[in-house]
Chain A
Amino acid sequence: MTTLLTPAAAEPRPAPPPARRDRRSWTGWGFIAPFVAVFALVFLAPIAYSIYLSLFRDQLIGGTTFVGLDNYQEALKDDRFWAALGRVALFLCVQVPVMLGIALLVALALDSGRLYGRSFFRVSIFLPYAVPAVVATLMWGFMYGTRFGLVGDINDTLGISLPNPLSPDLVLASIGNIVTWEFVGYNMLIFYSALRVIPHSLYEAAEIDGAGQIRVITAIKLPAIRGALVIATIFSIIGSFQLFNEPAILQDLAPNAITTDYTPNLYTYSLSFSGQQHNYSATVAIVMGLITMVIAYVVQLRGMRKGA
């Protein structure tokens, strides 16, 4: 750089052509300036600020000090963080396949054209997605109640004793149930719209070749919506790692089962707002963001490889 700069600086007056080029490049900047300003303000600045925060430590006694990468070192050794990550990873491995599986089945059923009352069915499956997550969780929370909720009523009516869905052993499954209920419709819509754009000539060709419905699904439909499957999976991975609303709201009903470090996001929230540990909270958030990015990227690479 310096070697390039020196002759330019040494030149007393720039020749006309470079000047014109200069003006032209500024015009370009002028056009993208509104975008760059907004982009920098809403995307880059928060990230930069989080990274900046993560390099300090603010203590009740002693104030703020620069600690370099100490917070990152601590996060890598933090049992509470890893336990939370393990929990959402388990959630991801169980809930996401179940949810996407159901969504795919529903989408294929709708697409098969053999369903009676198709649009009603489509809307009612999609409806839960339109319910805000907070409301949905509160509603399910009431149903899960063993004293006055639906579970309690079933127990009373049938004289049985169902296990408490909000006990520490079952609460993750209960959250999975809520999330599945909320997002099956959304994923179904992604799959269904991908299915709708498959050219009909392919089906006709398959029919002429004497292919059955199962064969059509495995040989035509699934390969054709591969991209949609990968996208839905990536969204679901990110959603699982960012699990927050459902456990945070159920926490009021099951404070002993859902700890303040139940998921990585809940952990950063309590670090920041109960513990005043903004710096460490930023660190955990960044580490979590990186992990999510890596996993989502790996899935994308794997998913797209065979499709290409």
Chain B
Amino acid sequence: MLKNSRRLLRGIGLVCALALGATACGGSDDGDSSRKAVSASDIQAALKKGGTITVWAWEPTLKQVAADFEKEHPGVKVDLVNAGTNDEQYKALQNAISAKKGVPDVAQVEYYAMGQFALTKQLTDLKAFGADKLASKYSPGPWNGVKAGGEGVYGLPMDSGPMALFYNKKVFDKYKIEVPTTWDEYVDAARALHKADPKAYITNDNGDAGFTTSMLWQAGSRPYKVDGTKVSIDFSDQGAKTFTGTWQKLLDEKLVAPVTSWSDEWYKGLTDGTIATLATGAWMPANLASGAKGASGDWRVAPLPQWTAGDNAGSENGGSALALPELGGNEALAYAFVEYANAGKGVQTRVDNGAFPATTAQLNSEEFQNAEFPYFGGQQANKIFAESAANVADDWSYLPYQAYANSIFNDTVGKAYVSDTTLADGLKSWQDASVKYGTEQGFTVEK
């Protein structure tokens, strides 16, 4: 989530990173697919025996969970390490796996990156622990995420990001603009707002792979089809056309602010009302409250605008799971912690500390739904988020190398933001580049 600080760090560590590049080599991985079932009594025995597990995660609410877990099981020590946020951590994890050394017992992995690790058999299939029986506990989007387009269960969902429209009510009221319920209305609102105040924009968009794929997801596009090592990529379906048709208007008329999310400029815009809406995941409130303090009370939450009036299609943006790297040790204990944190008592602890859950029990609980957000002027925003979570179509899949594909998004689709290239053309070149990489990496890729 904290993309800017991650990038800043990267910026500073550049030179040493380059030097490291020469020494970080790819090792071969021959995963052991035959796995014995681990029963509940095995896990109990492991808990009694005790030991230390290393957990790599950047999710802040896990700190309390780890402390509670240690208290409940004396003799067990949870070593919680923040090895970087998303990309940084994946690089570290990948390097540890390549080196077959220092691999954590538990790692936080986002849904979009799950495939990359699952496919190369770097994550343990938790079916051996009976995790498949937990399916009904989770909302469909996140559960689909941990299956990573296959039959295995490669992690337990930790949080989720059903999308909603965050909007600055003060700005909308000031210019008497209706809150849009469809994306066509959204474009109209963008025009009206920018006309009323040339410094104000409906939203910011500087080319963001996560956002674009989430929008495609909602529009009904299914660009990625994954079947083991067979992959197909196609950004020319009807859903993609729906999205590019509308979004192109915003780009052509310069109605979106060319500001990168998580930058200082972005927070300024969110605070002073020059960025009037954000279509993003339900994990956003805590970030707004801390990053745009000055706008407390101005913002509200509305359901995500629809592509067809009266529809209720949802989509996910972000969200992560806890997984067990294949090369990590102490599996039974590691699984016990993951289950505690993401299916057991830990879930409530995390929700109490501001996390957005992936479990239906918490999503549907009255306490959760009725929670009032002071930042949103006392609005019960969770009601909107929970409804959005229930409306997410669960047949979306990411590429087994989505992390790489996302890294070249701005090289390709980014052109549409700074030149005459259209979004559709940009997506086409993203498709071509992704196909090329997939083929090089040994996938069977169909266009």
Contact = CB atoms under 8 A, between A and B. Distances in A.
A191 interface: no
B190 to A, nearest CB: 18
A110 interface: no
Contact of B94 (A62, A269, A276): A276
A107 to B, nearest CB: 29
A270 interface: yes
Contacts of A49: 22-23
B404 A269 contact: no
Contacts of B407: 260, 270, 274-275
Contacts of A27: none
A58 B26 contact: yes
Contacts of A227: none
Contacts of B116: 60
Looking at chain B's contact residues, is the secondary structure mostly helix, strand, loop, or mixed? helix
A112 interface: no
Contact of B17 (A61, A269, A277): A269
Contacts of A85: none
B82 interface: no
Interface residues of B, number: 53
B7 interface: yes
B11 A134 contact: yes
B145 interface: no
Given A269-B18, A274-B403, A61 B443 contact: yes
B127 interface: no
Interface in A136-185: 138, 145, 147-148, 167-168
A59 B440 contact: yes
Contacts of A275: 404, 407, 437
B249 interface: no
A268 B10 CA distance: 15
B17 A259 contact: no
Given A134-B11, A260-B408, A64 B265 contact: no
Interface in A234-290: 244-245, 248-249, 251-253, 255-257, 259-261, 265, 268-270, 272-279, 281-282, 285
Contacts of B443: 60-61
Contacts of B94: 276
Contacts of B404: 274-276
B369 interface: no
Contacts of A46: 22-23
Q: How large is the interface on A (under 10, 10 to 19, 20 to 34, 35 or more residues)?
A: 35 or more
A255 B260 contact: yes
A63 B27 CA distance: 8
Interface in B5-63: 7-8, 10-12, 14-15, 17-18, 21-30
B402 to A, nearest CB: 11
Contacts of B26: 56, 58, 64, 276, 278-279
A253 B262 CA distance: 11
B442 A60 contact: yes
B207 A255 contact: yes
A50 interface: yes
B25 A53 contact: yes
B418 A168 contact: yes
Nearest to A265: B18
A59 B410 CA distance: 24
A187 B417 CA distance: 38
Nearest to B442: A61
Contacts of B365: none
A256 B21 contact: no
Interface in B385-424: 400-401, 403-404, 407-408, 410-411, 414-415, 417-419
B265 A148 contact: yes
A255 B119 contact: no
Contact of A256 (B4, B30, B259, B418): B418
A285 B401 CA distance: 24
Contacts of A56: 26
Nearest to A259: B411
B268 interface: yes
A138 B21 CA distance: 24
B263 interface: yes
User: Which residue, A256, A265, A285, has most C-beta atoms of chain B within 10 A?
Assistant: A256
Contacts of A61: 119, 229, 441-443
A295 to B, nearest CB: 20
B416 to A, nearest CB: 8
B91 interface: yes
Interface in B227-267: 229, 259-260, 263-265
B262 to A, nearest CB: 9
Contact of B22 (A53, A244, A253): A53
A53 B11 CA distance: 25
Interface in B331-352: none
A50 B22 contact: yes
B206 interface: yes
B206 A255 contact: yes
A89 B76 CA distance: 59
A248 B25 contact: no
B117 to A, nearest CB: 10
A256 B206 contact: yes
Given A145-B265, A255-B260, A167 B22 contact: no
In the A-B complex, the 6 residue pairs with the smallest Cβ-Cβ separation, listed nearest first, are: A61-B442, A58-B26, A256-B414, A274-B407, A59-B442, A259-B411
15 contacts: A46-B22, A49-B22, A59-B441, A61-B119, A61-B441, A63-B29, A145-B265, A168-B419, A253-B263, A255-B260, A256-B415, A256-B418, A260-B407, A261-B411, A279-B26
Interface of B: 4, 7-8, 10-12, 14-15, 17-18, 21-30, 87, 91, 94, 116, 119-120, 206-207, 229, 259-260, 263-265, 268, 400-401, 403-404, 407-408, 410-411, 414-415, 417-419, 437, 440-443
Given A134-B14, A138-B11, A256-B410, 19 more contacts: A50-B22, A61-B441, A145-B265, A147-B259, A244-B15, A245-B15, A253-B260, A259-B411, A259-B414, A268-B18, A268-B21, A269-B17, A269-B18, A269-B21, A272-B21, A273-B91, A274-B407, A275-B404, A278-B21
